[in-house]
Amino acid sequence: MRGRKRTWADAPGNMLMRRIRLIVIVVLSAGLVLGLAAQSPDRARQLKQARELVAAGKTDEAIAIYAALVKQSPADPSLRVNLAISQFKAGHYAETIAHCRKALEQRPGMIPALLFLGAAYAKLGRPAEAVEPLRKVVVARPKERNARLMLAESLLRVGKFEEAAEHFRAASSMLPRSPRVWYGLERCYTVLAEAEFERLARLAPGSAYIEALLGDARMEQEQYEAAFARYRRALALDAGLTGVHTALAEIYERTGHPDWAAVERKREPAAPADCRSSDLACLFAHEQFLDLLRANGSAFWKKRAYDRLAEQAFAKLAALPDSAELHELKARRLDSAGSYTAAVNEWTKALALSPGNAVLNQGLATALFHARDYEAALPLLEKLLEQKPDSAEFLFLCGDALLSLKRPRDATGYLESSVERDPTNLFAHAELGRAYLELGDGARAIPHLLTALPADEDGTRHFELARAYRMTGDTKRAKETLTEYSRLRKEAAERERERERRRRVVAPE
């Protein structure tokens, strides 16, 4: 009942930083050649010394030299860019931005200035501002792989997933062994797939398409009985829906019924050898997923195509050496399947490879929470709340963890703040009401439990509300609410029995 969609963000990679260091050396070397040709011997000596200091990691000394040179020749944008690059390597990103912007005023379109301007914005967590300068670099130099990757990551962070995927695909041919590339592609495709599902759910709720896609999701989580029920329901709604018989055959094979699988495979129509551009089912069967996406396709087929592309990207990442990116994606998938204890293990492995990563820390904290390891989750959640004190989500999680640890008095402050910041979170209202109940304050519990009732599928909130009414002496409302509680419990039990009946994997009809 506590499942909520979590936000996510990309995280910096060490491999990318190594490539940036290589760019620094290359660009500074180019700047040195220009300086030697155009400057006095003393100026050339200073440029050479500064370059060597940067290469040796003595950036503060290099910065001092470049700053002096810029002061002597303030109209020379190449000197200013060299200073900006040194500042970048020293981690002084705000100073990098200032010098790059000044250099671009002096010489618009200067590629090194654009590159490090975008890189500095990205390092400061300002991806929206990184996008435009990096776009200009990629347009001018399409084979500039580092700019391409940084642009893709920045677009991913600002939610421009289709454009990000385009640049990640281009980067994949230039950086095929970069975990960042395949991680980024998987994230883009996964989010785009979710968007197509949500679009289809709005357009055709309860349709055969929705049932088939829910079956796909259960298959991915190896919940074969639940997947079987969804696929059978999809065929009942649309007997001609392509791919469902093949999916049923796969379930039969995985559950030890090869003879039943053969029956289902015979029922699946064979795909034509050549596909028309509009034949989306054929394009999918032939794994021409990008062609399918380029066609004017339905949300159903686009969702399936994005899912397959995400799987391909994940497989590419899994084939590379161990990485934080791989463990993060494994953890996300386990979270989605509700396997929180296993997810904790993957988040922990990811953090071991990328210590201090804020995204991974958040993933670990929430996985621990959902795994009900509240003692371990609480200190992590409190640290996250220190970084984002106005986060309604972190306030809720801290409060709920404290309530689960039988500390309702401590929990109420967090939950009150969470509800204040996000009044639409029905779970927060429900837990705040429960905290007041634990403190014996039925009057304060009632309004929050009433607010939470629309999310009460099994009667739990009605039972708690009845308790609150009894505390305040309102026996009439307590009795009425208990009657509703009994009805909801019976309906929930009946739904569960029906689900169990439908989930049985039986022979083909």
Residue 20 has pLDDT above 80, yes or no: no
Query: Would you give the distance in Å from CA 509 to the centre of its chain?
Result: 41
**pLDDT (mean) for 59-70:** 93
**pLDDT (mean) for 227-236:** 95
Give the model confidence (pLDDT) of 125-158 as tens digits.
Answer: 999 999 999 999 999 999 999 999 999 999 999 9
402 in Cβ contact with 378 (< 8 Å)? yes
Percent of the chain with pLDDT over 90: 81
Mean pLDDT for the chain overall: 91
pLDDT band at 277 (very low <50, low <70, confident <90, very high): confident
Amino acid at 478: A
pLDDT band at 41 (very low <50, low <70, confident <90, very high): confident
Residue 459 has pLDDT above 90, yes or no: yes
pLDDT band at 412 (very low <50, low <70, confident <90, very high): very high
Which pLDDT does position 176 carry in this prediction?
Answer: 97
Which pLDDT does position 30 carry in this prediction?
Answer: 46
Amino acid at 425: N
Residue 27 has pLDDT above 60, yes or no: no
* Domains delineated in the chain: 14-175 (1.25.40.10), 192-318 (1.25.40.10), 323-371 (no CATH), 387-503 (1.25.40.10)
Which pLDDT does position 10 carry in this prediction?
Answer: 38
Task: State the DSSP string of 258-305.
Answer: HHHHHHHHHHSPPPPSS--TT-HHHHHHTT-HHHHHHS---HHHHHHH
Give the model confidence (pLDDT) of 374-397 as tens digits.
Answer: 999 999 999 999 999 999 999 999
Query: What is the DSSP-derived secondary structure letter of residue 507?
Result: -
161 in Cβ contact with 135 (< 8 Å)? no
Give the model confidence (pLDDT) of 83-124 as tens digits.
Answer: 999 999 999 999 999 999 999 999 999 999 999 999 999 999
**pLDDT (mean) for 405-431:** 97
Burial code (b: 16+ CB inside 10 Å, e: under 16) for 149-181 equals bbbbbbbbbeebbebbbebbbbbbeebeebbbb
Measure the CA dihedral 473/479/484/490, to 10°.
120
pTM, full prediction: 0.86
Task: State the DSSP string of 293-319.
Answer: HHS---HHHHHHHHHHHHHHHHHHHHT
Which pLDDT does position 19 carry in this prediction?
Answer: 52
pLDDT band at 25 (very low <50, low <70, confident <90, very high): very low
Residue 497 has pLDDT above 90, yes or no: no
Task: State the DSSP string of 450-490.
Answer: HHHGGG-SSSHHHHHHHHHHHHTT-HHHHHHHHHHHHHHHH
Give the model confidence (pLDDT) of 235-250 as tens digits.
Answer: 999 999 999 999 999 9
pLDDT band at 487 (very low <50, low <70, confident <90, very high): very high
Tell me the two tokens of residue 82. Answer: 């060299």
Residue 182 has pLDDT above 60, yes or no: yes
